[in-house]
Amino acid sequence: MKRREFDEKVLRIGIDLGGTKILGALVDDAGNAVATRQLPTFAKEKHSEKEILQTISTIVQDLLIWAEKEGRTPVEIGIASAGIIDTSTRTIRYAQSLGVKDFPIGEQVEKALQMPVHLCNDTDAAAMAEWQKKSRKSDRFMYVSVGTGIGAGIVKEGKIMQGAGELGHMTVNPKGENCTCGNYGCLKHYASGPAMEEKVRMKGGKYREMAMPEIVELAEKGDLWCQNVLKESAQYLGLALVNSIHLLAVNEIVIGGGVLQKGDFFFSQVEAYVKRFTMPYMAEGITVQPARFKAEIGAVGAVCSRR
């Protein structure tokens, strides 16, 4: 894909709407977050929609003040939200973590703030953020988010594959435990943050209350139990990735999502598995790398999916 020229003056506002926090960012035309503002989501059962709109409004107002001081005016707002999204009607169809259903957030934010608004899924947004920062710009790119759940965003020839990427519900063990989706042995039960924590804690003793950052750190330092658990999870994730590569001819994979960011152990295990079990001609040149963006990934992606 041809590189486009950047307009230094243009700013956009990206909003990452998640179950615990809402992060807003002013994003320049090259896809860099030049200012950020974050507030808790405060989603409650009955008042979620109102609370979310108010919080987004506060964040946007703060970012507009910042932009004004710099003599710049943001041109539009992009919202990346958790849940099932209808991008054409700019509606959150269903998001359990936000406590909303059929919420026409795009229309309502546009009305409240008098700026053009578009809406996308947060994992898709993250995929676009990572893809647009790549120098290689591979034509079949997959971003995988490993956190409380597991999701994927697939970028094919510069465009996101809408509605695809339920990687966390790919079966990796048909005889495995029952999942909320109705299937058995879904990947999220083997390679999500909570799944790895549960496994580590089973050993008891000093492992009894261990959380992911410490597990990753101990694995890096050579702790065999933590290494075993991470290795097993990496292999399950690797299995799902190999299946994805064979189906979609993906040639570049980036893993983000927060729980694995500090350490090479997990990544090297995933990459080794992928290289070993992908069909030879498809494995050529394939890479598995950690995400470049950290907390601001969804907010940056919310706007760059439109540029």
Residues that bind Zn ion (CB under 5 A): 169, 179, 181, 183, 186
Pick the closer one to Zn ion by CB: 190 or 265: 190
271 vs 7: CA distance, rounded Å: 37
Pick the closer one to Zn ion by CB: 164 or 179: 179
| 78 close to 303: Cβ distance less than 8 angstroms | yes
Spatial CB neighbours of 251, under 8 Å, sequence gap ≥ 6: 138, 139, 140, 141, 245, 285, 286
Residue 263's nearest CA partner among 197, 215, 195 is 215
104 vs 40: CA distance, rounded Å: 21
Pick the closer one to Zn ion by CB: 65 or 181: 181
Name the burial class of residue 104, with classes exposed (0-12), middle (13-18) and buried (19+) by CB atoms within 10 angstroms of its CB.
middle
In eight-state DSSP terms, residue 51 is H
CB of 145 to Zn ion, least distance (A): 16
CB of 61 to Zn ion, least distance (A): 40
CB of 307 to Zn ion, least distance (A): 34
Q: How many C-beta neighbours within 10 Å does residue 241 have?
A: 28
Pick the closer one to Zn ion by CB: 37 or 169: 169
Both structure tokens of 103: 């919420």
Pick the closer one to Zn ion by CB: 8 or 177: 177
Pick the closer one to Zn ion by CB: 43 or 186: 186
CB of 217 to Zn ion, least distance (A): 29
| 286 close to 253: Cβ distance less than 8 angstroms | yes
CB of 97 to Zn ion, least distance (A): 16
CB of 102 to Zn ion, least distance (A): 23
Pick the closer one to Zn ion by CB: 102 or 177: 177
Beta strands in the chain (DSSP E): 11-17, 21-28, 33-40, 77-81, 84-86, 91-95, 100-103, 117-121, 140-146, 150-156, 159-160, 252-256, 287-290
CB of 196 to Zn ion, least distance (A): 17
